């Protein structure tokens, strides 16, 4: 019963109330020339009224519409207050700001235009007090308004007033006319008369002074080595100088009307532009990095000189405390907030009144970034709570969450040129900073998001989120054409791709579009080291080591081992030792320390460190440690090649699937070849080629070397089988031809001349033209040994002869002619070859039983080379042939000519017996007995000749 009563009461209350109000979301933004308020209405015909009075502007909406202000908001620069009113919104604008309102579909847009610049003359000032005609209003182009508001081009409203009858009754006449006029043609409100006291209390910021002239003219004066810009400002005016992109910002903490017209045409300061704010003056100078400005006092004025970099006599150091950062400076000026030309976010600038004070390095916090300056201090605010104020002799940045800004590693790193801004934060503040950046991206127009996306991608890369950083910067490429040519964005994209392991996308580091600074050098070295080119990577790492040591922790964890191992492998041990000492005792650097100990021949220390890595949890480092341990033990002699190959096989399965495994496989194959296991190496390489089909160019040389070794070391029949199983692996050059020819000769020695001749023919087809005569001679010899005399002659006739091949080809041709039954042609060929062919000529004549001719040929050979150790044997053979022919006169002449020259010994004794007089009686029987004994020993001596002949084949 009690529940039913409650339901009844609630129902009566709900039924008695009017319909629920429709909420209209309110979005705020800052744009060049105006601030903007956009209300998302439920329908395009909801009426609205704009009432301007001394106490501000009241925006009244139709019944049932309730504006919903964002919880965390930063007001546009021309808006002092914005609050909900009972019927809509109440806002207070800065003095001189103008309001423009119009519809775009179901959106209501209110633009608070900047105050018009001061009139240059009294006449112009007087004319500005009268309302300008509607046609004279410089309306912004429709396309520009659409790009700024992220809205479609506004359509021209109808000429008739909108249907809001209550506006005609309630609004004053000026407001009614302003609401009824089309936005594109509506005249801006006339400058208001001095507001009453109530309005003055609302407008807390004082109006900018109204100079009577166009401003103080700026000029250059002679400086130290170059023309200097003279800023004629009072002595109490502070100055700050900082760079944003390709523009240098000079911020004066007091409003001054400055005329830059006299600087037109100046080579340095010709592009200077001045903007006077209510509380400050901003000078913008387009000047590309690394050029900078040096400021000093000249009397009460500031003198700004261009130079290669800012003067850093005294650095303003940041002292992080809980919830704030203290920046101590000599003679600090006033804090000035300005809009960042890159991101649109506020920059809190602290000016100084004495020269030589700057922040040379950047620091990062979750809510802001301390920017490097050339004079003064600057902080890019990312949260509404950040504030900069001067307290005595220091600036205080307050409203910050707990977090520590990690400075760069020192003056050496600060002097290096950078392109990216990588925040060095703890994970918690870094995540908070990233969330703030993403909110800024969502609220910005598409063409204003590029700097915001770039900053967010840098934060992601600093956190180790490489894939996310690359995706974020690719969105910038798709949205904004400027990103595709922005060197900072290009470097960020390539670095993120490298850290993500996407080497094709990281090749952008090698392009010439990136500037040649230290940070680009560092990342190019990282790319070379990742690709395995330690020689190219080592100089880059060594020269940018301080910059690397100042990177965020997630990047150092990845890059420090890569740099240390590359430098050790390239022989830069001193630079590697310096890196390891500066990096401290980090577990990921244990492998690099082991490699350094190995390079310094500290074997025991290296093996101990490798064992530590092997027992660790890093699989890749473990695989590399296993491989280096085997190599070190092989070098020390505790393992042979076969043992090292077996040890590396354990590392083969410790890491699979990339170039690390491929390198290990190739090394195992090489060690097996060194150990004499060519077949094992060939089998492993065949499996490797099947596993890595896209690495054939890298595997093929090792396969060719293993097959050549197998053809040389394996038995001929096994070698032939290996070749026939994979003939495409044999090199198509002289190495392959030589291996086939040698294998063919080995087959011929095994009484397989036909198989040998077939392989020799394949060898002949592989060799270049210059080597074909030699291989043709070998092929002809094999064919002749196989009984194919005709094929041997065809081979010899098919290739031209060289001077080196004349004798062997002639001998082969003579043998072939003799085998084909043309002895006369064979003898003619041999006689034409001269002395070197005399042994073959004697053998051919002996075969034809021309004993006298054979004897003469051998005696001529002995006479042609008397100092040759083989000459006595040739004389003995000549004597034997003469004895077989029964030519006593020849024997007698031979005895007379040669017996004395032969001296003593077995050969001389045999020649004497052969050439002695024939047996004529019993007195010659003893001599006959000696001759018989001598000839009985000939068979044993001839066996030795036959064995030598077989071995020489």
Helix (H) or strand (E) holding 440: helix 427-443
Distance of CA 532 to the CA centre of its chain: 11
Whole-number pLDDT of residue 559: 93
The answer to whether residue 198 scores a pLDDT higher than 50 is no
Residue 497: pLDDT above 70?
yes
pLDDT, tens digit, 9 for 90 and up, residues 397-411: 987 765 444 444 455
> Would you give the DSSP letter of residue 852?
H
- Strand pairing partners for 350? 335, 377
At 111-154, the pLDDT tens digits run 888 876 654 443 333 333 333 333 333 333 433 333 343 343 34
pLDDT of 199 > 70? The answer is no
List, in order, residues 6 or more apart from 867 with CB less than 8 Å away: none
Give yes or no for residue 368 having a pLDDT over 50: yes
* pLDDT beyond 60 at 310: no
The whole-angstrom separation of Cα 274 and Cα 258 is 7
Query: How would residue 273 be classed by pLDDT, with cut points 50, 70 and 90?
Result: very high
pLDDT of residue 162: 38
Mean pLDDT of the chain: 78
Question: Is residue 599 predicted with pLDDT exceeding 80?
Answer: yes
Q: Reduced to 3 states, what is the DSSP secondary structure of residue 851?
A: helix
Would you say 103 and 44 are in contact if contact means Cβ atoms under 8 Å apart? yes
The confidence band for 934, taking pLDDT boundaries of 50, 70 and 90, is low
Residue 944: pLDDT above 70? no
Q: What are the b/e assignments for 782-812, b being 16+ CB within 10 Å? A: bbbbbebbebbbebbeebebeeebeebbbbb
Give the torsion through C-alpha atoms of 190, 196, 201, 205, to 10 deg: 40
Closest CA to 338 of 386, 277, 255, 273: 277
CA distances from 646 to 620, 639, 699 (A): 19, 10, 20
End-to-end Cα distance, the chain:
122
- Mean of the pLDDT values across residues 784-803? 81
pLDDT (mean) for 829-849: 84
What is the pLDDT averaged over residues 683-710?
A: 89
Closest CA to 421 of 403, 412, 433: 433
- For 438-447, the pLDDT digits (tens) are 888 998 888 8
């Amino acid at each position: 019963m009690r529940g039913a009563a409650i339901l009844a009461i609630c129902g009566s209350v709900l039924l008695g109330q009017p319909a629920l109000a429709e909420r209209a979301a309110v979005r705020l933004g800052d744009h060049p020339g105006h601030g903007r308020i956009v209300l998302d209405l439920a329908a395009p015909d909801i009426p609205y009224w704009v009432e301007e009075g001394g106490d501000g502007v009241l925006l009244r909406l139709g019944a049932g519409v309730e504006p919903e202000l964002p919880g965390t908001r930063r007001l546009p620069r021309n808006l002092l207050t914005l609050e909900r009113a009972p019927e809509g919104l109440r806002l207070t604008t800065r003095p001189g700001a103008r309001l423009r309102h119009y519809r775009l579909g179901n959106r209501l847009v209110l633009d608070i235009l900047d105050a018009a610049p001061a009139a240059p003359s009294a006449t112009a000032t007087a004319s500005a007090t009268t309302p300008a005609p509607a046609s004279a209003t410089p309306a912004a182009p429709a396309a520009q308004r659409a790009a700024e508001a992220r809205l479609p081009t506004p359509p021209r409203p109808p000429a008739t007033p909108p249907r809001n009858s209550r506006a005609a009754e309630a609004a004053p006449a000026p407001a009614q006319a302003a609401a009824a006029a089309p936005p594109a043609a509506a005249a801006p409100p006339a400058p208001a008369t001095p507001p009453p006291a109530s309005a003055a209390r609302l407008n807390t910021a004082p109006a900018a002074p109204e100079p009577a002239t166009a401003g103080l003219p700026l000029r250059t004066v002679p400086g130290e080595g170059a023309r200097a810009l003279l800023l004629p400002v009072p002595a109490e005016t502070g100055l700050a100088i900082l760079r944003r992109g390709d523009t240098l910002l000079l911020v004066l903490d007091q409003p001054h009307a400055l005329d830059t017209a006299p600087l037109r045409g100046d080579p340095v300061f010709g592009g200077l532009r001045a903007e006077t704010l209510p509380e400050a003056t901003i000078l913008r100078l387009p000047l590309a990095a690394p050029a900078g400005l040096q400021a000093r006092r000249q009397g009460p004025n500031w003198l700004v000189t261009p130079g290669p970099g800012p003067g850093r006599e005294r650095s303003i150091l940041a002292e992080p405390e809980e919830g704030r950062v203290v920046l101590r400076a000599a003679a600090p000026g006033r804090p000035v907030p300005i809009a960042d030309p890159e991101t649109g976010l506020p920059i809190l600038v602290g000016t100084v009144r004495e020269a030589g004070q700057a922040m040379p390095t950047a620091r990062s916090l979750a809510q802001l970034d301390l920017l490097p300056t050339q004079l003064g201090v600057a902080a890019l605010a990312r949260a509404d709570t950040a504030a900069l104020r001067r307290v005595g002799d220091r600036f205080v940045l307050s409203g910050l969450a707990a977090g520590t800004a990690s400075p760069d590693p020192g003056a050496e790193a600060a002097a290096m040129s950078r392109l990216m801004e990588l925040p060095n934060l703890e994970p918690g503040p870094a995540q908070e900073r990233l969330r703030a950046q993403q909110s800024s991206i969502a609220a910005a127009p598409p063409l204003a998001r590029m700097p915001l996306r770039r900053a967010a991608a840098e934060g992601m890369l600093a956190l180790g989120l490489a894939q996310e950083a690359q995706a974020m910067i690719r969105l910038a490429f798709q949205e904004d054409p400027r990103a595709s040519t922005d060197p900072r964005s290009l470097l960020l994209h390539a670095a993120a791709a490298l850290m993500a392991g996407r080497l094709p996308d990281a090749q952008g580091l090698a392009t010439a579009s990136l500037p040649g600074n230290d940070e680009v050098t560092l990342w190019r070295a990282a790319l070379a080291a990742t690709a395995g080119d330690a020689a190219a990577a080592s100089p880059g790492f060594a020269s940018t080591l301080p910059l690397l040591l100042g990177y965020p922790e997630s990047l150092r964890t990845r890059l420090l081992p890569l740099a240390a191992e590359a430098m050790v492998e390239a022989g830069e041990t001193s630079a590697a030792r310096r890196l390891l000492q500066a990096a401290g005792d980090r577990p990921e650097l244990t492998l690099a320390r082991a490699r350094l100990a190995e390079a310094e021949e500290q074997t025991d220390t290296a093996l101990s460190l490798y064992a530590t890595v092997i027992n660790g949890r890093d699989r890749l480092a473990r695989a590399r440690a296993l491989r280096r341990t085997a190599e070190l033990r092989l070098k020390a002699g505790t393992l042979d090649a076969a043992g090292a190959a077996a040890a590396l096989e354990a590392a083969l399965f410790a890491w699979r699937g990339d170039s690390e495994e491929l390198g290990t496989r190739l090394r195992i194959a090489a060690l097996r070849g060194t150990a004499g296991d060519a077949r094992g190496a060939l089998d492993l390489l065949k499996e490797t080629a099947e596993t890595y089909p896209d690495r054939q160019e890298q595997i093929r040389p090792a396969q060719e070397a293993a097959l050549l070794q197998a053809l040389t070391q394996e038995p001929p029949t096994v070698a032939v089988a290996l070749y026939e199983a994979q003939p495409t692996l044999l090199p198509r050059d002289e190495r392959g031809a030589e291996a086939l020819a040698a294998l063919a000769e080995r087959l011929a020695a095994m009484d397989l001349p036909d198989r040998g001749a077939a392989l020799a023919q394949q060898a002949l087809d592989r060799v270049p033209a210059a080597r074909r005569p030699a291989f043709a001679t070998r092929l002809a010899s094999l064919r002749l040994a196989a009984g194919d005399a005709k094929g041997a002659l065809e081979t010899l006739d098919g290739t031209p002869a060289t001077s080196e091949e004349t004798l062997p080809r002639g001998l082969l041709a003579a043998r072939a002619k003799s085998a084909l039954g043309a002895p006369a042609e064979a003898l003619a060929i041999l006689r034409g070859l001269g002395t070197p062919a005399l042994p073959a000529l004697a053998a051919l004549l002996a075969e034809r039983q021309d004993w006298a001719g054979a004897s003469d040929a051998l005696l001529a050979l002995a006479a042609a080379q008397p100092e040759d150790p083989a000459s006595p044997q040739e004389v003995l053979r000549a004597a034997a042939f003469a004895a077989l022919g029964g030519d006593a006169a020849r024997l007698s002449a031979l005895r007379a000519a040669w017996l004395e020259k032969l001296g003593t010994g077995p050969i001389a004794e045999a020649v004497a017996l052969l050439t002695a007089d024939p047996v004529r009686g019993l007195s010659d029987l003893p001599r006959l007995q000696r001759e018989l004994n001598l000839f009985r020993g000939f068979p044993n001596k001839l066996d030795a000749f036959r064995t030598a002949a077989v071995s020489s084949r």
